Amino acid sequence: MSDFFDAAETQAPAGREATLFARLPGFLAAIRDAVPGWTARLAAVDVAAVTSRAALAAIPVLRKPELMAAQAAEPPFGGFVDAGRLDGARYFMSPGPVWEPQGPGADPWGAARAFFAAGIRRGDLVHNALAYHMTPGGFILDEGARALGARVFPAGVGNTEQQVEAAAILRPDAYAGTPDFLKVLLDRAAEMGRDLSSIRKAIVSGGALFPLLRGEYRRRGVTVMQAYATADLGVIAYETAAGGEPLPGMVVNEDLIVEIVRPGTDDPVAPGEVGELVVTNFNPAYPLVRFGTGDLSAVLDGPSPCGRTNLRIRGWMGRADQRTKIKGMFVDPKQIDSVVKSVPGIARARLVVSRDGDRDAMLLKVEPANGGAVDLAAIAAALTAETKLKGEVEVAMSLPNDGKVIEDTRDYSK
């Protein structure tokens, strides 16, 4: 049995680079002609000359707020899709809101390689606990697993006891979902006297896998690997292993061009320097060129010891902006502003994100206007309605005047 998904994973790095940049001018010309958003953005670009990283770096980075503004002005996709290629596609809404279409073909988000690297194979049954409702997360993993030949139980989120009962009957080989929820399932199964020992492999995404939690899973007999994915781009990079142990960093997925730029600029940083992860894909239906993820990462030196030769990144290292992922869902400062405006008597608010044991937690601190009283219950309800997440609310008579709306206090070294 091969250790690799296909031969592309072990091709010479120079050959991969040459192939990507040989494809890029034709791809740019095609989307310039077919996709109105790119017609405008590439109008002044000599696309035939974009045959190197230096030439690509001259194209401005497209960041999420700009895309959101375009979508608000021209719903749903802001002119950044080839509408003629969307027949049979699903449409998704991510928090923000941001609208994304499903790309064409099997495994349109490139998740199968991540499943393979996690040890999941044809015939395995995967318990998929990412959301299938509105957002693409569940479908990203579902499509990848099935393209690999695995079987999928589409569990989705919530209904923990029902999920435990289903897993006890189906005996899945693997779990897919957020890092935290697997522990919830295993703990609840122990309380219920149900045996979930069939789960020996897991691929997690939608949040950080903290070392202590990974260690606990290992002690419980589950090898857990991470995939770094976004709703817009799919799986950008994934962990690999040697001898059953995860290796440093993540290997970039095939058919993507990844850059690291200085946050807030279009300029690539020096190798190894931390910056914002910027990605160019070759998706003809939803093309994204120099798309700023808003996530921080850095390039690791040298190829992975696993034998895969693509670029390695350090994985997700936090946000370059204040938009923050909590329990697998992004929360944007604009959403906190909506909460403030929806409940009378709030002068300012700050969302503090922390860890409560093995779970993400959020606390909204609100500063009353003119020192008056505020309705904490109404604020909590507005917070849940706006973010689709539950959080605590407390009064803070004076918040720091530093412009910060979301404060992430989670320690990613533990």
- Residue 173 Cα distances to 61, 167, 177, 343, angstroms: 41, 10, 14, 47
Length of the chain in residues, anyone?
414
Instruction: Read off the amino acid at residue 213.
Output: L
DSSP readout, 281-335?
A: ---SSS--SSEEEEEEE-EESS--TTS--S-EE-----BSSS-EEETTEEE-HHH
- Average confidence (pLDDT) over 236-262: 95
Whose structure tokens read 């296909």? 6
Q: Do residues 242 and 250 touch, judged by C-beta distance below 8 A?
A: no
CB under 8 Å to 242, separation ≥6 — which residues?
305, 306
Q: Do residues 199 and 127 touch, judged by C-beta distance below 8 A?
A: yes
Whose structure tokens read 């530093």? 402
Q: Do residues 90 and 318 touch, judged by C-beta distance below 8 A?
A: no
Residue 1 has pLDDT above 70, yes or no: no
- Average confidence (pLDDT) over 192-203: 98
Residue 235 has pLDDT above 70, yes or no: yes
Q: Do residues 341 and 385 touch, judged by C-beta distance below 8 A?
A: no
Question: Measured between alpha carbons, how far is 158 from 26 in angstroms, rounded to an integer?
Answer: 45
SS3 212: helix
Whose structure tokens read 């505020």? 374
* Residues forming a β-bridge with 353: 362, 408
Phi-psi region of 254 (alpha: psi -120 to 50; beta: other; left: phi over 0): beta
Please give the pLDDT value at position 403.
59
Question: Measured between alpha carbons, how far is 237 from 216 in angstroms, rounded to an integer?
Answer: 24
CB under 8 Å to 223, separation ≥6 — which residues?
118, 119, 200, 201, 202, 217, 241, 244
User: Most distant CA pair in the chain: distance in Å?
Assistant: 69
Please give the pLDDT value at position 194.
98
- Per-residue pLDDT of 19-45, as tens digits, reads 999 999 999 999 999 999 999 999 999
- Per-residue pLDDT of 42-65, as tens digits, reads 999 999 999 999 999 999 999 999
- Average confidence (pLDDT) over 387-408: 87
Identify the CA nearest to 20 among candidates 252, 280, 309: 280
Share of the chain above pLDDT 70, in %: 99
Identify the CA nearest to 406 among candidates 315, 329, 313, 343: 329
- Per-residue pLDDT of 157-173, as tens digits, reads 999 999 999 999 999 99
* Residues forming a β-bridge with 348: 367
Please give the pLDDT value at position 121.
97
Tokens of 369: 């206007």
SS3 192: helix
- Per-residue pLDDT of 364-383, as tens digits, reads 999 999 878 899 999 999 99
Average predicted confidence (pLDDT) for the chain: 94
Tokens of 266: 């279009």
Q: Is the peptide bond before 104 cis (omega within 30 degrees of 0)?
A: no
SS3 211: helix
Identify the CA nearest to 396 among candidates 360, 350, 356: 350
Tokens of 157: 């989120």
Per-residue pLDDT band for 333 (boundaries 50, 70, 90) equals confident
Tokens of 86: 């969307």
CB under 8 Å to 381, separation ≥6 — which residues?
none
Please give the pLDDT value at position 265.
81
Q: Do residues 360 and 353 touch, judged by C-beta distance below 8 A?
A: yes
Whose structure tokens read 């190798």? 271
Residue 280 has pLDDT above 70, yes or no: yes
